[in-house]
Amino acid sequence: MEKIILLIFMAVLLFSDESVISKCNECHSYSPTPSYKKIHKHYLLKYSSKIRVKQAMIGFLKAPSLEKSEMSNGMKKRLKPENHTIFDDKTIEKAVIYIIEKEDIQKRFKKIS
Ligand code: HEC
């Protein structure tokens, strides 16, 4: 019985994350909007740790600005990060966690080996 409850719980968790990220996928699945992989790379190179990447991404998404953007200068010029869509805090947090977990480099290493 516990196993079934746990499974349902996990399914709900997974589903809710998927539905949150689908709001972002509307743009981020298509060019010229940068992919999560590309965005995550820029943030990881600057902030190194998961916690700091999370803080920086959330910081940008809550109040998008040119100064907070971590993308390349060319992209900033073309895609205007200061005009990024604003979402509620819960959506932002869930979506950012989803992106960080999905792009987790260490997890990918484990899959290969
Ligand atoms: C209306 C289209 C659109 C939607 C919806 C959207 N994005 Fe974006 N996003 C963009 C574009 C375009 C850029 C590139 C602008 C830039 O940052 O240079 C971007 C950039 C970003 C960046 C990098 C910001 C930077 O410049 O450092 C993050 C992180 C991000 N999006 C996360 C999200 C998340 C999470 C969601 C969903 C909650 C989301 N986006 C929804 C269009 C969108």
- At residue 84, φ and ψ (nearest 5 deg) are -60, 140
Mutate to test the pocket of ligand 1, among 18, 20, 25, 27 (most ligand atoms within 8 A of CB): 27
Statement: residue 43 has pLDDT above 90: yes
Q: What is the pLDDT of residue 14?
A: 58
CA dihedral sign, ordered 53, 57, 58, 64: positive
Confidence at 113, pLDDT banded by 50, 70, 90:
low
Residue 56 contacts residue 70 (beta carbons within 8 Å):
yes
What pLDDT, in 10s, does the model give residues 45-100? 999 999 999 999 999 999 999 999 999 999 999 999 999 999 999 999 999 999 99
* pLDDT-based confidence at residue 2 (cuts at 50, 70, 90): confident
Ligand 1 pocket, residue 87 CB under 6 Å: yes
Say how many Å lie between the CA of residue 85 and the centre of ligand 1.
Answer: 7
